[in-house]
């Protein structure tokens, strides 16, 4: 009998040791689980936020904790810590949201979120320190996969230790049934080093004015490229309702090579480039947005509101890690004369089926803005349509300058000082009241007030400007890499 008891005791001790060992193997996720907050019972599938996929890979589920926004155009943020201390790479994203409920979602990476609450109003900011955009979703975009060998680095000594999810709830009529929202993103991470670093090059017009009734208005953007070679693999376009076609090109020795062209009224996902395009030192990156002012009774300016417009061309690229820059921008037209030779296709709209428009704008009718009620209706429709560019409008806002001399940053200057200085200044600008648009001079280089007005609108409607450093964003096709948290640079 004593022998049996001893045997059972030994078995118990061994079993306990195995259990302790198993718990130890999962200890890398302890920090996350210790800070995980209980979610709404309506958030099915969110009870296992971290799942191991083997020795080197795991997935992290980031979801809103069962929220119910109280008014339209609400921006809510929440954060989760990276569940490991050592360096990891985000290599895949899977969204969980519907455009019926969510206008757009953004995922930032940083070291210190703006709040420690379960969730908070994003007007308080996303991060207290520098932040990078890792992902953006809108308009029922499909899951995004980075090219093999490309990833965004997080954790370790240089990567962010927190993820911040920002969700923009546009029209809250979808919440009439009082349901709670658990939208979010699942990240696939790996500890395996990625050989290439992904980045984002944003081209954006900041001073375009669209006269009322004008059939065709071109907004052109161009910058000389002054860095190590980068390889382009995906692009994305964005305007509001007046945009007809957006095209992007590499110009080398007078030869125009198409990066991509698309209707901004189609799903605003990242599309793979048709042919591989590399960009080398002294090439020119050029983009054109074509607008129509038909149906409008007043001038339309660049800005973040529903009745403003936007002209954005985003380029996803990868670079060798030793030369990589995470984020670059172009907000001016360095060579207006060259657009006389732009390919004709840049002004040929892509047909959009009516059912696609219904999906994009909901079941609203009409686009006229002849009175206040119709303006409000149009605002609603356009707010539903605008893609989640808060990420890049924050970034773009940073480029718009310094407190007393906003406009000088439009000049091409690859050696512009670190973006943290720009953000410190721009934060002061956006805190000013929204100024009226009384000046109609189309050259906004001489119109500081108008520029500040644009910045305010970007900040209020399409961005969270608190983070003082660079951000970048990822989404869709060819070769894999290592992400970094370097300063943003102008292109």
Please give the annotated binding residues for Cu(2+), written as ranges: 103-104, 168, 238, 240, 310
Question: Are 227 and 214 spatial neighbours (Cβ–Cβ below 8 Å)?
Answer: no
Strand order in the sheet with 255-262: 217-224, 284-291, 243-252, 255-262
Task: Indicate the annotated binding residues.
Answer: 103-104, 168, 238, 240, 310
Set 96, 99, 168, 316: catalytic member? 168
β pairing state of 104-110 and 162-169: antiparallel
Set 78, 99, 103, 459: catalytic member? 103
Question: Are 383 and 170 spatial neighbours (Cβ–Cβ below 8 Å)?
Answer: yes
Set 238, 301, 456, 489: catalytic member? 238
Set 96, 104, 188, 459: catalytic member? 104
Is 166 part of the annotated catalytic residue set? yes
Is 442 part of the annotated catalytic residue set? no
For the beta carbon of residue 463, count every other beta carbon within 10 angstroms: 29
Instruction: Give the closest residue to 456 by CA, choosing from 436, 437, 434.
Output: 434
Give the separation between CA 325 and CA 314, rounded to whole angstroms.
Answer: 15
| Phi and psi angles of residue 126, each rounded to the nearest 5 degrees, phi first | -100, -50
- Cα 14 to Cα 3, 11, 17, 23, 286: the distances in Å are 16, 5, 5, 14, 67
Set 96, 240, 301, 489: catalytic member? 240
Set 64, 166, 200, 265: catalytic member? 166
β pairing state of 243-252 and 255-262: antiparallel
CA 12 to chain centroid, in Å, comes to 53
- Cα 147 to Cα 31, 141, 277: the distances in Å are 30, 17, 15
Q: What is the CA radius of gyration of the chain?
A: 24
Q: Which are the contacts of 87, defined by CB distance < 8 A and separation ≥ 6?
A: 153, 154, 155, 156, 157, 159, 191, 193
Question: Are 151 and 90 spatial neighbours (Cβ–Cβ below 8 Å)?
Answer: yes
Is 238 part of the annotated catalytic residue set? yes
Is 301 part of the annotated catalytic residue set? no
Tokens representing 190? 């790996």
Strand stretches in 54-161, DSSP E: 57-63, 74-81, 88-96, 104-110, 120-121, 131-138, 144-145, 150-154
Give the separation between CA 395 and CA 393, rounded to whole angstroms.
Answer: 5
Set 64, 310, 316, 328: catalytic member? 310
Is 71 part of the annotated catalytic residue set? no
**Could you write out the DSSP letters of every residue in 253-303?**
TTEEEEEEEE-TTS----EEEEEEEEE-TT-EEEEEEEE--TT-SS-EEBS
Give the separation between CA 76 and CA 391, rounded to whole angstroms.
Answer: 14
The helix or strand, by DSSP H or E, that contains position 5, with its residue range, turns out to be: helix 2-25
CB burial of 281-296 (b: ≥16 within 10 Å; e: otherwise) equals eebbbbbbbbbbbeeb
Q: Would you please indicate which residues are annotated as catalytic (active-site) residues?
A: 103-104, 166, 168, 238, 240, 310
């Amino acid at each position: 009998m004593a022998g049996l008891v001893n045997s059972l005791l030994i078995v118990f001790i061994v079993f306990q040791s195995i259990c302790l060992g198993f718990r130890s193997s999962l200890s890398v996720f302890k920090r996350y689980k210790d800070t995980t907050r209980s979610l709404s019972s309506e958030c099915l599938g969110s009870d296992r936020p971290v799942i191991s996929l083997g020795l080197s890979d795991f997935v992290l589920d980031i979801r809103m904790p069962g929220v119910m926004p109280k008014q339209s155009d609400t921006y809510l943020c929440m954060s989760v810590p990276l569940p490991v201390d050592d360096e990891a790479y985000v290599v895949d994203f899977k969204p969980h949201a519907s455009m019926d409920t969510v206008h757009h979602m953004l995922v930032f990476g940083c070291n210190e979120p703006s709040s420690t609450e379960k969730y908070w109003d994003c007007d308080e900011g996303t991060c207290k320190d520098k932040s990078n955009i890792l992902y953006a979703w809108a308009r029922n975009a499909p899951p995004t996969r980075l090219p093999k060998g490309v990833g965004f680095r997080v954790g370790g000594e240089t990567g962010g230790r927190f993820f911040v999810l920002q969700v923009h709830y546009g029209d809250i009529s979808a919440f009439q049934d009082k349901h709670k929202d658990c939208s979010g993103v699942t990240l696939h991470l790996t500890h395996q080093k990625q050989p290439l670093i992904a980045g984002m090059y944003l081209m954006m017009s900041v001073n375009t004015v669209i006269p009322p009734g004008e059939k065709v208005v071109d907004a052109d953007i161009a910058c000389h490229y002054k860095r190590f070679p980068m390889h382009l693999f995906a692009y994305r376009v964005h305007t509001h309702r007046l945009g007809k076609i957006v095209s992007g090109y590499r110009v080398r020795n007078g030869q125009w090579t198409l990066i991509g062209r698309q209707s901004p009224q189609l799903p605003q996902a990242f599309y793979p480039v048709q042919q591989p395009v590399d960009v080398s030192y002294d090439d020119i990156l050029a983009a054109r947005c074509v607008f129509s002012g038909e149906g409008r009774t007043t001038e339309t300016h660049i800005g973040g509101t529903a009745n403003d417009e936007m002209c954005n061309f985003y380029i996803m690229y990868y670079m060798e890690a030793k030369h990589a820059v995470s984020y670059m921008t172009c907000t001016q037209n360095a060579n207006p004369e060259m657009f006389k030779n732009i390919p004709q296709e840049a002004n040929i709209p892509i047909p959009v089926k009516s059912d696609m428009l219904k999906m994009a704008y909901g079941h609203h009718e009409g686009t006229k803005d002849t009175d206040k009620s119709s303006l409000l209706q149009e605002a609603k429709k356009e707010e539903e349509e605008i893609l989640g560019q808060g990420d890049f409008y924050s970034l773009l806002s940073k480029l718009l300058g310094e407190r007393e001399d906003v406009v000088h940053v439009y000049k091409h200057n690859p050696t512009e000082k670190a973006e943290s200085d720009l953000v410190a200044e721009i934060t002061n600008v956006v805190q000013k009241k929204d100024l009226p648009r009384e000046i109609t001079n189309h050259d906004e280089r001489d119109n500081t007030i108008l520029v500040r007005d644009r910045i305010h609108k970007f900040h209020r409607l399409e961005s969270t400007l608190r983070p003082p450093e660079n951000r970048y964003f990822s989404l869709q096709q060819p070769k894999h890499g290592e992400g970094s948290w370097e300063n943003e640079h102008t292109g």
